[in-house]
Amino acid sequence: MKYAYYPGCSLHSTAKGFDMSVKDVCKKLDIELWEVPDWACCGASSAHSFGHLLGLAVPAKTLVPAEKEGLDIVAPCAACWQRLVWVNHEVNSNPKMKEKINKAIGAELNGTSNVLSVMEAIAAAGEEKISQAVKKPLKGLKVAAYYGCYYVKPPKIAHVDDPERPHMIDDLMAAVGAEPVDWPYKTECCGASLNFVDFNTTLAMSKKVVDIAVKSGADIIVTACPICQMNLDMLQAKMNKKFGTNFNIPVCYFTQLMAVAMGSSPADVGMNKNYVPFESTLAKSG
Amino acid sequence: MSAEVINLSQLQNDHGDFVERVRKMSGQDVRKCYQCGKCSAGCPVHNCEGMDVSPNRIMRMVQMGMEEDVLRTKTIWICVLCSTCTARCPRDIDIARVMDALRIMSFERKITEPAKTANIFHEMFMNNIKKYGRMYEFGFAVGYTMKTGYMLNLLDVGPATLLKGNLAFFPPHMKNSSQIREIAENVEKIERMEGEH
Ligand code: SF4
Ligand code: SF4
């Protein structure tokens, strides 16, 4: 299978480990990724707050090369993914808006490339292919799969999975031998980019998520979103200081765990770039 | 003491044009809201006391035509657009889109006072991607900290990011780094032409 690939800004900076692990897992599953040439930022989290058309036109250009190649497109960042999904939705349902978007980007976009989350692209490879690729099943590792908001809300636009009880990442974790825990905060918001605007509120929001994951018996939290990963991982030190907690739970991308289960070393997929150390947790499995 | 009687139908008649403008901008008819409060009950920001006015009250204020007050709330800028409210609203209103539309309106009116940091964040974000085509995170972090002191929050964790090689010191490199600036200029032109019609 071949897809167009839109890494987005985060995967080239704070979320390099996501980029590395997505590429690694896709390679092992014979999924070919063709990076959109000279892609630009999708404009999240700001462009849409300056105007509806601006919020659509900025990400729209990314879809043009994919459409020309006749490829569906994979966008691993949750925020990028949702912005691209909005563009397709408007282009397909609102001819006036389509015309304006095309005028703004100086190109013809028809909304024919599906925009896929990385979970969908990987799951589409099929259970058999995935289980064949597993070399070191993550036996005994209790994983809290955290989906955040963008993939499942608002459900009319973003419907990778159920908005309250999604299971797609849980299933992929089970497929590589780990034990997904059932927990109630799978889609509770971590605060996202509010981190930059109201730090203390974000800290309180992220703390709730980490707290419930720990109380649900998880050894590790996995995400599919750069900003979720950053908030839940990087802020733990700060949470402990402010709330007197004792959190020390690793937070990584679900693709990083998949890559490790498929035989890659954690360093190969950037796990050493995460904050909370993961070594003793991974040592427990297998 | 008698309670003030509010005649909602009368208010909606008197200030109907605000609800209508919100509808045009967001595609959402706020008149449908029957104040069940579900949006506020599940709002993660409201539950962490980040808002000055709860989401259901914002909806009521829009119904009542309280344009001046609603555009001056911190809530509309502090909302993370997580769409939890939207997913749960029994009246099928996309509340997050209403919030975003109110933001656009307050931005157009240049009302920055209630949420200064949010305004600085979004403005610097846009300027950054207009200049580089992609987010130059290190440059953004430094500039944003100079204006708001942001990185001071991360004194315990911040430097580690740089050491771990997560933030690149140099701006991103691409062939056509002015793509976003050009799109933004086109959007402005299109919107100006529309305004004239
Ligand atoms: S959930 Fe919907 S109907 Fe209920 S108060 Fe909020 S906006 Fe109104
Ligand atoms: S979209 Fe905004 S108002 Fe709605 S639940 Fe999320 S933060 Fe609250």
Domain count, chain B: 2
Check residue B160 and give its pLDDT: 60
From B142, B195, B194, B196, select the one nearest B168 (Cα to Cα). B142
Q: Is the pLDDT confidence value at B161 over 70?
A: no
Please check whether residues B106 and B55 belong to one and the same domain: yes
Residue-wise pLDDT for A231-279, tens only, equals 999 999 999 999 999 999 999 999 999 999 999 999 999 999 899 999 9
Residues B29 and B44 occupy one common structural domain: yes
Structure token digits, residue B107: 């931005």
Is B106 in the same domain as B36?
Answer: yes
The answer to whether residues B148 and B124 belong to one domain is yes
| Residue B94 sits in the same domain as residue B118 | no
**Percent of chain A with pLDDT strictly greater than 90:** 88
Contacts of A189 in chain B (CB under 8 A): 44-45, 80, 82, 84
> Among B80, B111, B142, where does a domain finish?
B111
Q: Tell me how close the Cα of A105 comes to any Cα of chain B, in angstroms.
A: 6
Tell me the mean pLDDT in the region A192-210. Answer: 93
Which residue in A251, A213, A257 sits closest to A232, CA to CA?
A: A251
Among B111, B145, B170, give the residue marking a domain's end.
Answer: B111
Task: Tell whether B118 lies on the interface with A, counting CB pairs under 8 A.
Answer: yes
pLDDT score of A220 more than 90: yes
Cα(B29)–Cα(B20) distance, integer angstroms? 8
Chain A: residue whose CA lies nearest to B135: A9
Question: What's the rounded Cα separation, in Å, for the pair A222 and A213?
Answer: 10
Predicted confidence at residue B1, as pLDDT, reads 46
Indicate the domain borders of chain A. Answer: 2-118, 133-283
* Residue A69 vs residues A76, A86, A105, A113, A167: alpha-carbon distances, Å: 19, 21, 18, 9, 32
**Torsional class of B172: left (φ above 0), alpha (ψ -120 to 50), beta (otherwise):** beta
Strand order in the sheet with A73-74: A32-35, A2-5, A73-74, A115-116
Mean pLDDT of A5-29: 95
Fold adopted by A133-283: Rossmann fold (3.40.50)
Predicted confidence band at A55 (pLDDT cuts at 50, 70, 90)? very high
Q: What is the pLDDT of residue A71?
A: 98
Strand partners, A5: A35, A74
Q: What is the pLDDT of residue B186?
A: 94
Rounded to an integer, the average pLDDT of A70-87 is 96
Q: What confidence tier does A5 reach under pLDDT thresholds 50, 70, 90? A: very high
Same domain, B76 and B105: yes
Task: Choose the final residue of a domain: B71, B94, B111.
Answer: B111
Nearest residue CA, atom 8 of ligand 1?
B33
Check which CATH number belongs to the domain holding B67 and give it.
1.10.1060.10
**In whole angstroms, what is the distance from residue B100 CA to residue A85 CA?**
17
Cα-Cα end-to-end distance for chain B: 52
Question: Whole-number mean pLDDT of chain A?
Answer: 95
Same domain, B6 and B50: yes
The answer to whether the Cβ–Cβ distance between B78 and A193 falls below 8 Å is no
- pLDDT, residue B49, reads 92
Same domain, B96 and B150: no
Chain B residues close to A201, C-beta within 8 Å = 45, 48-50, 78
Q: Which of residues 47-86 of B touch A (CB under 8 A)?
A: 48-50, 77-78, 80-84, 86
Q: What is the pLDDT of residues B82-104, one digit of tens each?
A: 999 999 999 999 999 999 999 99
Do B52 and B148 belong to one domain? no
Name the residue among A170, A192, A191, A151 with its Cα closest to residue A254. Answer: A170
| Residue B107 sits in the same domain as residue B146 | no
Contact call for A153 and B87, based on CB within 8 A: yes
- Please give the distance, rounded to the nearest whole angstrom, from the Cα atom of residue B41 to the centre of ligand 1: 10
The beta-carbon neighbor of A61 closest among B50, B150, B179 is: B179
B87 and B76 together in one domain: yes
Average the pLDDT over each of A201-205, A268-272, B131-135 and give the range with the smallest value: B131-135
| CA B116 / ligand 2 centre spacing (Å) | 19
Out of 3.30.420.40, 1.20.1050.140, 1.20.58.1690, 3.30.930.10, the CATH code matching A2-118 is 1.20.1050.140
Could you tell me if B90 and B30 lie in one domain? yes
Residue B163 has pLDDT above 70, yes or no: no
CB of residue B103 inside a 6 A radius of ligand 2: no
Which structural domain range is residue B103 located in?
1-111
- Segment 19-58 of chain A within 8 Å of chain B by CB: 38-41, 43, 45-54, 57-58
pLDDT on residue B3: 65
